[in-house]
């Protein structure tokens, strides 16, 4: 399995393909057009066995300026660069551009090979090596080996192999979800579709289901190969070929295969953008640019937050608004090229793939600075800061460029520092939690002020005002709010600690009027609507008081939207029991006559006692349930 992937880059005709063939025995120029023109058009791939074991994948990328897009496709997944410089020509324009592109792609290691060294004398080699040292000064290749080599005579090849073997491999991010940028597609007759690329993160096994981004569609991994050999499982960092079934016909070069749900599909992103020091152009606010990300390329518009123009060698935060959705993860590198003429001007890092801020947000720069930080604690704090509602661990980890295990560890540290609050498997910042507390307290204040007689607000009614629709966090949030003393809960209701229902002077007057009205009504229970109508504009307040008196047991609800005062109802109950003492059965007519009410009210009362469990209807009679006499 590969431990290192190197992009073999440099100016056109500086011997990249010949060097790869001399090292590996593989001619990476396989297209007829490449043979005819004598230059690399598409990235080529070869495997280099290394001294002491292990291998390196060499990616021969095009050197001609017309094929920079293909160069970026090949170099996107590489760990480092083998930069070639012709001993005769020395450093040329694409030498500089390729080095700059590799830096923009985040490479941190590499080697400089001075090719065709057999055609140069010692003075010339010394001069070219000095040029290379000057070129790489201040870059990630500063201090890197500069080795004269010859593909023709074999000069320096063993030293080059040893230098490649000595390069430190980058960290294998097998803890992140699987991801592969498709840079090659094949359709073997009768076999299906084969997608090839670099496994940049995670691992994949035969039988796995993968999402196709930007989609839509999913594919199933039927077979895996690495370096032409079959495999049951492959992991980062390695070159891989996947034989796919499912929606494989929808795959295009530049697409991404990844674990379902592990990529963000977005049409805009907040970024940290840097222009090259030798960029031939500045970038103005609203400028159209060519965006290269992974193996894909498209057009975008660049919007600045704090300036009208970005000059060469400057860095700022900006937003890229894309012509079409792209799939990405926070922390991805990108390159931008000028719209016309098409030339590389800069690149940077994707920071926020779901920006929700306003352009003039005063805290935007600080938050984006946090997302750009190498400190995972700062990145996670910034990811939390941008969310008003609790977020699942997997989304926060993705926003901070971390694995779920790393994200949980960082969130736990933020919790200990009082900067993060867990809600089940979800998290939010301490500031967002404080905002929810204030919001909950204000909602309860308003509720109690408008309804001083009600014991509290329904739990779900409060949660729907605090959380997004259909959130599963209602009970977790209420538990935290209760633990923090914001509210108390009882019987499905929430209320301020210390709150007790109370009658205001105005409501007390209505209560007294209702007391008189219902006592006078006796057993002829009035309908709620009729009672409310007698209060005119105070009908809503009347409704509140009626509900409070019902909760207190002063009024008893009957069917048909009626209520009766408890005193006449109690007297009628005594009458009912007396009638049953005289006879084991009771008719509606007999009760009506003895109670002195109409059939309507007699029926309401008897049905009330049926529901209460005091009596039971049997045909045209009622009987007393056992034990009630």
Using pLDDT thresholds of 50, 70 and 90, give the confidence band for residue 627: low
CA quadruple 190, 195, 199, 205: dihedral, nearest 10 = -30
DSSP letter assigned to residue 310: E
Residue 441: burial class (beta carbons within 10 Å; 0-12, 13-18, 19+): middle
Mean pLDDT score, 588-610 = 94
Domains and CATH numbers, the chain: 4-166 (3.40.50.300), 179-258 (2.40.30.10), 264-364 (2.40.30.10), 365-417 (no CATH), 432-495 (1.10.10.10), 505-624 (1.10.10.10)
> How far, in Å, CA of 106 to CA of 564, rounded?
79
> How far, in Å, CA of 556 to CA of 72, rounded?
79
Tokens of 398: 């993705």
> How far, in Å, CA of 544 to CA of 507, rounded?
9
pLDDT confidence of residue 42: 61
Q: Which helix (H) or strand (E) holds 160?
A: helix 157-166
Residues 6+ apart with CB under 8 A from 546: 514, 528, 531, 532, 555, 563
> How far, in Å, CA of 627 to CA of 629, rounded?
6
> How far, in Å, CA of 368 to CA of 355, rounded?
10
List pLDDT tens digits, range 452-481. Answer: 999 999 999 999 999 987 788 899 999 999
Per-residue pLDDT at 448 exceeds 70: yes
List pLDDT tens digits, range 4-45. Answer: 888 898 888 888 888 989 998 887 655 444 344 444 446 678
> How far, in Å, CA of 17 to CA of 62, rounded?
9
List pLDDT tens digits, range 128-152. Answer: 999 999 999 999 999 999 999 999 9
Q: Which of 123, 61, 49 is nearest to 90 (CA)?
A: 123
Q: Which of 472, 382, 389 is nearest to 419 (CA)?
A: 382
Per-residue pLDDT at 392 exceeds 80: yes
CA distances from 215 to 249, 251, 418 (A): 12, 8, 40
């Amino acid at each position: 399995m590969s431990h290192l992937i190197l992009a073999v880059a440099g100016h056109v005709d500086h011997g990249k393909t010949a060097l790869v063939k001399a090292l590996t025995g593989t001619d990476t120029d396989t297209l007829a057009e490449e043979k005819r023109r004598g230059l690399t058009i598409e990235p080529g791939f070869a495997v280099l066995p290394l001294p002491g074991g292990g291998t390196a994948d060499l990616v021969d990328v095009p050197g001609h300026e017309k094929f920079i897009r293909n160069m970026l496709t090949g170099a996107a997944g590489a760990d480092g660069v083998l930069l070639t410089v012709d001993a005769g020509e020395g450093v040329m324009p694409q030498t500089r551009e390729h080095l700059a592109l590799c830096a923009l792609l985040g490479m941190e290691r590499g080697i400089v090979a001075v090719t065709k060294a057999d055609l140069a004398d010692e003075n010339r080699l010394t001069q070219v090596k000095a040029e290379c040292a000057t070129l790489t000064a201040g870059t990630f290749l500063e201090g890197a080996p500069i080795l004269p080599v010859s593909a023709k005579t074999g000069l320096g090849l063993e030293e080059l192999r040893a230098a490649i073997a000595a390069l430190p491999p980058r960290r294998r991010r097998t803890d992140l979800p699987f991801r592969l940028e498709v840079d090659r597609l094949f359709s073997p007759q009768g076999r299906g579709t084969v997608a090839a690329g670099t496994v940049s993160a995670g691992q994949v096994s035969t039988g796995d289901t993968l999402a196709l981004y930007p989609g839509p569609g999913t594919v199933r991994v039927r077979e895996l190969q690495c370096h032409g050999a079959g495999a049951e499982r492959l992991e980062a960092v390695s070159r891989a070929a996947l034989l796919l079934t499912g929606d494989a016909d929808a795959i295009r070069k530049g697409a991404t295969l990844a674990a379902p749900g592990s990529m963000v599909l977005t049409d805009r992103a907040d970024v940290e953008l840097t222009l090259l020091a030798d960029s031939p152009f500045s970038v103005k606010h609203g400028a159209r640019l060519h965006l290269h990300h992974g193996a894909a390329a498209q057009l975008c518009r660049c919007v600045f937050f704090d300036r009208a123009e970005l000059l060469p060698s400057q860095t700022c935060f900006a937003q890229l608004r894309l012509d079409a959705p792209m799939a990405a993860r926070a922390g991805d590198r990108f390159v931008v090229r000028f719209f016309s003429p098409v030339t590389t001007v800069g690149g940077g890092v994707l920071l926020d793939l779901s920006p929700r801020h306003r352009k003039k947000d005063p805290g935007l720069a600080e938050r984006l600075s946090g997302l750009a930080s190498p400190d995972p604690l700062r990145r996670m704090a910034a990811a939390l800061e941008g969310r008003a509602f609790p977020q699942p661990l997997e989304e926060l980890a993705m926003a901070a460029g971390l694995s779920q295990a790393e994200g949980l560890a960082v969130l736990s540290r933020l919790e200990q520092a009082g900067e993060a609050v867990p809600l089940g498997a979800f998290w939010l910042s301490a500031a967002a939690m404080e905002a929810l507390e204030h919001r909950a307290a204000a909602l309860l204040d308003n509720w109690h002020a408008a309804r001083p007689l009600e014991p509290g607000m329904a739990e779900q009614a409060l949660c729907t005002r605090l959380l997004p629709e259909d959130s599963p966090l209602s009970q977790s949030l209420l538990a935290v709010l209760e633990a923090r003393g914001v509210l108390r809960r009882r019987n499905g209701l929430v209320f301020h600690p210390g709150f007790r229902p109370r009658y205001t002077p105005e409501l007390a007057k209505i209560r007294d009027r209702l007391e008189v009205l219902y006592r006078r009504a006796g057993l002829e229970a009035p309908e709620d609507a009729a009672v409310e109508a007698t209060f005119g504009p105070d009908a809503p307040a009347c409704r509140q008081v009626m509900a409070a008196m019902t909760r207190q047991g002063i009024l008893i609800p009957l069917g048909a939207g009626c209520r009766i005062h408890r005193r006449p109802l109690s007297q009628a109950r005594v009458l009912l029991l007396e009638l049953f003492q005289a006879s084991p059965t009771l008719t509606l007519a007999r009760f009506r006559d003895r109670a002195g009410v109409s059939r309507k009210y007699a029926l309401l009362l008897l049905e009330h006692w049926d529901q209460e469990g005091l009596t039971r209807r049997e045909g045209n009679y009622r009987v007393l349930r056992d034990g009630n006499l």
